[in-house]
Amino acid sequence: MRKILIPTDFSENAMNAIRFAMELFKFDRSDFIVMHAFADEVYENTLEMERSFFEEYRDKMQNATERQLQKVVSEMLEISPNPNHKYNYLATFDTMVDACNDIANKENIDVIVMGTRGKTDDREITFGSQTLQVIKYVKCPVLAVPKGFEMDVMKNILFPTDYLIPYKGREVKLVNVLAKNFGAMIHVLHITGKKILAHRQEDNKTFLECSLDEDLCQFHTREGKDIATTINSMVSEESIDLLVMVNSRHSYMESLLVDSTIDTIGLHIKIPFLVLQNLPR
């Protein structure tokens, strides 16, 4: 049973991510947990409120949130009455990051699916603040779905990697399962300024070769140091439907987050973005 956590702020972007997740995992026995963390809303709206009223307000927010989540689950059942799927909801008085981490650990979540942006929908940025915080700090794979993106036949997956860090078998398996479900090709891309791999890189590349279905995997090497430009070019050339990256120290993903060049990618890439965390859970 695959377990999928979907945080929602009840926006259309969030609902679009839900629809995408149901279609993406339509072949798998899956348990969907739709979650809303409402602590920030309560604290922001009760700055000058007495404690007794604060607790009353918190309880009312809990009840209102649960009613909204019930409506979301009802809509999910209408959209996809898939016998392979189970739909649950959870309203939690917590922050988004802490709630995602806690639920991911308790429920052994396989992937978190959310919109790239929420209610604010700032078109000048790739990720909303909540999505970016989850990507950076939650110890679970995160799949970010762009606004308005609709699931079609998945044919090509791009997996840029520097081969410098060991991969988590469970996370690589998730990518492999998605490729096999849709018959998609995984394009493993190494961007480098060197002609040969270090021993560590060779071992990690071998792990990928053994973990991914050889009939659904191609390995590419591109010379250069401009990660964002090279990824953008590959997305266009190979008609990529899903971008996969690993967020770990010394990885491509970390350099993009640290250097803020992830928005350079976002201006050109309008496809779902799966971030593998490669972190202990």
CATH number, domain containing residue 120 = 3.40.50.620
Task: Specify whether 137 is located in the same domain as 173.
Answer: no
Q: Work out the angle at residue 8's Cα, subtended by the Cα atoms of residues 6 and 14, and round it to the nearest 5 degrees.
A: 90
With 0-12 CB in 10 A as exposed, 13-18 as middle and 19+ as buried, what is 89?
Answer: buried
Task: Specify whether 164 is located in the same domain as 135.
Answer: no
Q: Which of 117-121, 201-205, 220-224 has the lowest mean pLDDT?
A: 117-121
pLDDT digits (tens, 9 = 90+) for 224-258: 777 888 888 899 999 999 999 888 655 555 555 54
- Which structural domain, as residue segments, surrounds residue 160? 156-273
Average pLDDT over residues 98-119: 90
Among 97, 125, 145, which residue terminates a domain? 145
Q: Is residue 68 part of a domain?
A: yes
CA distances from 231 to 9, 189, 193, 236 (A): 30, 8, 15, 9
How many domains does the chain contain in total? 2
Report the distance separating Cα 272 and Cα 180, nearest Å. Answer: 18
Please state the φ and ψ torsions of residue 75, each to the nearest 5 degrees. -65, -35
Please tell me which of 85-89, 164-168, 261-265 the model is most confident about, judged by mean pLDDT: 85-89
Q: Is residue 280 part of a domain?
A: no
Among 98, 118, 145, which residue terminates a domain? 145
Among 145, 164, 180, which residue terminates a domain? 145
Task: Specify whether 168 is located in the same domain as 33.
Answer: no
Task: Specify whether 129 is located in the same domain as 181.
Answer: no
Q: Is residue 278 part of a domain?
A: no
pLDDT digits (tens, 9 = 90+) for 27-84: 999 999 999 999 999 998 888 888 888 999 999 999 999 999 999 999 999 998 999 9
Give percent of the chain above pLDDT 90. Answer: 62
| Predicted local confidence at residue 277, as pLDDT | 85
Task: Specify whether 14 is located in the same domain as 118.
Answer: yes
Q: Work out the angle at residue 11's Cα, subtended by the Cα atoms of residues 64 and 6, and round it to the nearest 5 degrees.
A: 80
Task: Specify whether 255 is located in the same domain as 204.
Answer: yes
